[in-house]
Every structure is written in C-alpha cells, then in structure tokens.
C-alpha cells in the first residue's frame, strides 16, 4: 500500500523534491512575520545542513535535539538535520534541564540546536551530560542573528543529502511523560510519508491550496504531522505560531483564510464562543480534534454553526500520528470513527483476548508506523504480536466504529460500578456554567472511590454550594444517576501537559 523507494530522505522529500515537482514558488511556511517559499526552504535547509556536516561534524545516525517553539526556523532546522542523516528529537520550550537531561541520556544525544531565547536550560543540561557536547543557537525570530544562521549564510544552496534508507530511523518521539519515565519511539523516514499519504491524503484530502493552522507543538508528533509534514508533502502552506492561544489562532484563520486546523476540543469551544461574537472562521474546511476526546456538544454545535463536521481522531506518539478517525462523509457524535487505511484496531480484555463487540476493553492498534520503543523493557508489555496495547479503554460497536470510554486510569470503580470519568465530564460540559472540567476517582472508605469533578466555570458564574448542587442534579438527569460527582471542586485552571492534555493524575494527589 505504501510503496516507497529503498533510498529515501524525508528532508529532501519535503523540500528539494517539492521544488522539482513544480512547487518552488508556492508559500511553504508563514511565521514570525515572514513567508518562505518551497525554493527558499530548500535552499535554507541545504545551507544549514552544510553547517551541521562541515562545521559541526555531524555524522549519519548522530542524535540531534532541537529545542524551540513553533516557528519556521524550527522546521528548517529539523529538515536540515534530517538531510544530514541525523536522528532528530524535537523538544518543547517548557522543558527544564532535568527533563532535557532524561531525554539526552535516554537517546544518547550528542548535539543540540536551540533557539537562542531558550539556551539556559539546555546549557545547564550540557554541563553535566556525558553525551551532549555541542550546543549551537539558531535565531527563531528569523533575523539570522545566531551562530547557526551566520555560518549558514556562507554556505552554498546545494547539499548532497545523506543517502538514508526508507527504514532508517529519522525521528525519536518522546511520550509526554505525564507519569513514569519518558519512553522514546523510533520512526523511520518512510513512516513520515505514510502519515501524510494515509491520514492526510485519504481523510483530509489535502491539496496545495490548503493553509494549515494549529496549536500542538512541533515537538509533539501531532503537531509535527499537522503543521509541517502534511502541508509540505502536498505543496500547501503552514502558519506557525509561537504562542497558539485560541485568540491567536482565530486571528491567523481570519487573516490567512486558513483551511485546516489541528487542535484540541478546549480551543474549539473558545472558537465557537468567538463565532457568537462575530469571528469569521468560514474558511476552515477541516477542523481536526485530537489529544482529548471530543465532547458531543462541541461536535454538534460545530456542525450547527459551520455546516461541516469536526473530525475527531485518536493518535499516539507510538504510532506517529492519527490512526482512527471520523471521515467527512462518515462521522458520528461521541465516536472516534474507524481505523485509517493501513491500520487495524481491536478491543482486548485483561488477558489480551479480543473482547465482544460493545464491551469496554483496551484499545489495541497495529499499523505500518509503530510501535518500536527505543531500548525499553516496556516493549514486551505494550506491544504484543505487533499490536500496541494503548492506555485507552474503548468499545467497538456492531458496525466497527470505535467509541472512547476512558483512559485506562480514568475508570472509576465506585460501589461496584465502573464509571468512565470522561462520560461524567461530557455531561458536565453540556451545562452552560462549565467551561472545562476533569473527573477523577477519589479514594473512599465506603465506596472504594467516589467521583470527584474539578470544574472551571464559564464567565459570569460563581462556584458555590448552590451551583454544585445544580450541577450534580444536572448530571443525574443527563446520565445514569449513580455516575454523578459526589464531590465538586471549583478551580481556576486545570493542570495540563505542554501538549494540552489534562493531567488528571495531579488532581488525584
């Protein structure tokens, strides 16, 4: 199905090969006040690759860490490192020296390329690292005012990229590590084309006229796919925002008439409210929601306001990108859809046996892009016969559609009842007073656990006993009453990872 030449370098495929296919003058990247065409991107990445090989001494297979916010320079540095045959680890700006140190040790990283505005933590990490010896700055603001940029300006715009194989590792994706020590997953050059030619082509039908916008960091494979690989594979344009708050995304959508967005349900809720105030998001033809399950009220309201479905999907760093998704012509509320071409999904019980249709079990997935952990004993626990046993509880209905139930650790066992926290969250979210919420099990002597809801209120509401009682009654009237939250806490903000995933485990403490 995905047949690629034996020799393949993804850095070349997404730049020089696009120029050769006639896209040279089209805009590839927009960010920090500049636009770069495909020809400019090809030249820029070739100059940078020269610096890596000629000046820094990067050899094929060396591991390079990149530290940056989302901006065109980060994409260019990633592609240049890939052209130089390196294995890249993209990291988020919020990581501290200790977290960077864990990544550096795990992946035995020798080089770091860092936006000069973010140097401190990586420099601290390099001081004590047995692996990391070279840290070089680049200018994320695009003024070419950093060592890597200055060296690059002296270099030719032609570069003979390292002759990598399609099954050579190009990328190490680190799982965000909400719990436990981080795991790294290995991805080949071909995997990066597969997510584009599979999900992006077949589900999103990306064309050169598309303009992408979104919030996930490029350091997270959800963002790297949605905001770099997918647009560049098809000659489209990506807008990159260093701070992708919903208001910033709305501004970009209105200014550039963006057509495809990648973000999480919370941001879509803000966009819906902004539409009430007159925001014009009519240019969006595809709104992809992932990272958190999409509540049915958000899905319904999006269709009502835009006439188009919001495409809920689930992906994983382990599989590189989205492997189950709704389709434009086949979508349902509170449903994650069906496997993307090339992937298979099944629901398994505790013993790994396939669970009957309609029963909750663990989601297992198999496909061409995973799952291969780097030097990790957890491979034998999480990958059985090629099936990645995910951390999510799902059901598969009679027609083969997959429905999210909970993260495995979000199931609350209360008085013998199995209660899926996200179902209670969806009920709460359909109340006007609730802007965001997270439900966890709180240990309880009598019941084993009780349902505890942490609620962020919408503007104009006050968290008091009366409102708590109203919300409890509302949940009882919306879903089976035994699921209602016995505890309601009003809080200002939910704890989240850098990628926007709610850290429910922190609410359990």
In terms of CB distance, is 32 or 266 closer to ligand 3SK?
266
| 291 in contact with ligand 3SK (CB under 6 A) | yes
Min CB(143)–ligand 3SK separation in Å: 32
Q: Which parts of 300-329 interact with ligand 3SK (CB under 6 A)?
A: 314-317, 321-322
Min CB(290)–ligand 3SK separation in Å: 3
172: three-class secondary structure by DSSP: strand
| 290 in contact with ligand 3SK (CB under 6 A) | yes
Min CB(196)–ligand 3SK separation in Å: 13
Q: Which parts of 154-193 interact with ligand 3SK (CB under 6 A)?
A: none
Min CB(219)–ligand 3SK separation in Å: 11
| 10 in contact with ligand 3SK (CB under 6 A) | no
In terms of CB distance, is 370 or 485 closer to ligand 3SK?
370
In terms of CB distance, is 188 or 474 closer to ligand 3SK?
188
Min CB(314)–ligand 3SK separation in Å: 6
- Tokens 């919420």 label which residue? 437
In terms of CB distance, is 23 or 189 closer to ligand 3SK?
189
In terms of CB distance, is 309 or 485 closer to ligand 3SK?
309
Question: CA 17, 26, 45 angle in degrees (round to 5)?
Answer: 50
| 402 in contact with ligand 3SK (CB under 6 A) | no
Are the CB atoms for 326 and 332 separated by under 8 Å? Answer: yes
Residue 26: CB partners within 8 Å, gap ≥ 6?
37, 38, 208, 235, 237
Which H or E element spans position 297? Answer: helix 296-306
In terms of CB distance, is 140 or 226 closer to ligand 3SK?
226
CA distances from 176 to 181, 318, 342, 354, 375 (A): 9, 11, 25, 28, 17
Min CB(68)–ligand 3SK separation in Å: 19
Estimate the share of the chain in helix, then strand, then coil, as percent rounded to the nearest 5.
35, 30, 40
| 287 in contact with ligand 3SK (CB under 6 A) | no
The residue at minimum Cβ distance from ligand 3SK is 315
Min CB(159)–ligand 3SK separation in Å: 29
CA distance 50 to 329: 46
Residue 418: CB partners within 8 Å, gap ≥ 6?
360, 411, 412
Binding-residue pattern over the window 221 to 240 for ligand 3SK, x denoting contact by CB under 6 A: xx------------------
What are the start-end ranges of the E strands in 193-343? 211-214, 237-239, 260-263, 286-289, 310-315, 322-325, 338-339
Which backbone phi and psi does 283 adopt, to 5 degrees? -75, -20
Left, alpha or beta for 216 (phi > 0: left; psi -120 to 50: alpha)? Answer: beta
* CA 25 remoteness from chain centre: 29
Structure tokens at 301: 């309201």
Where do contacts with ligand 3SK occur on this chain (CB under 6 A)?
221-222, 290-291, 314-317, 321-322
């Amino acid at each position: 199905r995905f047949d690629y030449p034996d020799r393949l370098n993804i850095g070349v495929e997404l730049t020089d090969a696009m120029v050769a296919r006639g896209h040279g003058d089209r805009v590839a990247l927009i960010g920090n006040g500049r636009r770069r065409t495909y020809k400019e991107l090809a030249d820029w990445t070739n100059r940078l690759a020269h610096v890596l090989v000629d000046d820094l001494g990067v050899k094929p297979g060396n591991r390079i860490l990149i530290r940056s916010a989302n901006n065109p320079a980060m994409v260019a540095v990633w592609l240049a490192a890939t052209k130089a045959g390196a294995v890249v680890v993209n990291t988020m700006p919020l990581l501290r020296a200790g977290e960077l140190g864990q990544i550096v040790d795990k992946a035995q990283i020798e080089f770091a390329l860092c936006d000069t505005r973010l140097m401190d933590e990586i420099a601290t990490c390099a001081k004590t690292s047995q692996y990391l010896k070279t840290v070089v700055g680049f200018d994320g603001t695009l003024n070419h005012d950093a060592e890597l940029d200055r060296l690059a300006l002296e270099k030719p715009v032609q570069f003979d990229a390292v002759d990598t194989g399609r099954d050579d590792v190009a990328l190490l994706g680190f799982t965000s590590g909400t719990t436990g020590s981080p795991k790294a997953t290995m991805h080949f050059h071909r995997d990066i084309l597969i997510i584009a030619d599979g999900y992006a082509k077949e589900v999103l039908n990306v064309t050169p006229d598309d303009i992408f916008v979104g919030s996930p960091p490029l350091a997270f494979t959800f963002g790297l796919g949605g905001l770099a690989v997918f647009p560049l594979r098809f000659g489209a344009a990506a807008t990159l925002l260093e701070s992708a708050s919903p208001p910033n995304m709305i501004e970009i959508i209105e200014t550039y008439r963006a057509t495809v967005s990648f973000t999480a349900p919370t941001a879509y809720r803000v966009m819906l409210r902004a539409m009430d105030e007159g925001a014009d998001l009519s240019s969006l033809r595809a709104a992809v929601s992932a990272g958190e399950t999409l509540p049915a009220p958000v899905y319904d309201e999006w269709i009502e306001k835009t006439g188009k479905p919001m495409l809920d999907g689930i992906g994983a760093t382990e599989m590189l990108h989205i492997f189950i998704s709704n389709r434009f012509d086949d979508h349902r509320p509170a449903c994650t859809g069906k496997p993307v071409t090339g992937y298979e999904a099944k629901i398994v019980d505790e013993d790994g046996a396939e669970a009957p249709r309609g029963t909750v079990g663990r989601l297992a997935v198999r496909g061409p892009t995973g799952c291969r952990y780097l030097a990790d004993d957890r491979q034998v626990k999480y990958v059985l016969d090629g099936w990645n046993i995910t951390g999510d509880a799902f059901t598969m209905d009679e027609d083969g559609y997959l429905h999210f139930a909970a993260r495995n650790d979000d199931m609350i066992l209360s008085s013998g009842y199995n209660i899926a926290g996200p179902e209670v969250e969806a009920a709460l979210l359909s109340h006007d007073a609730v802007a965001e919420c997270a439900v966890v099990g709180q240990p309880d002597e009598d019941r084993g656990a009780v349902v505890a809801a942490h609620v962020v209120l919408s503007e104009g509401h006050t968290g008091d006993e009366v409102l708590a009682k109203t919300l409890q009654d509302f949940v009882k009237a919306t879903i089976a009453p035994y699921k209602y939250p016995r505890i309601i806490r009003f809080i200002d903000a939910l704890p989240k990872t850098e990628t926007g995933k709610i850290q429910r485990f922190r609410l359990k403490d």
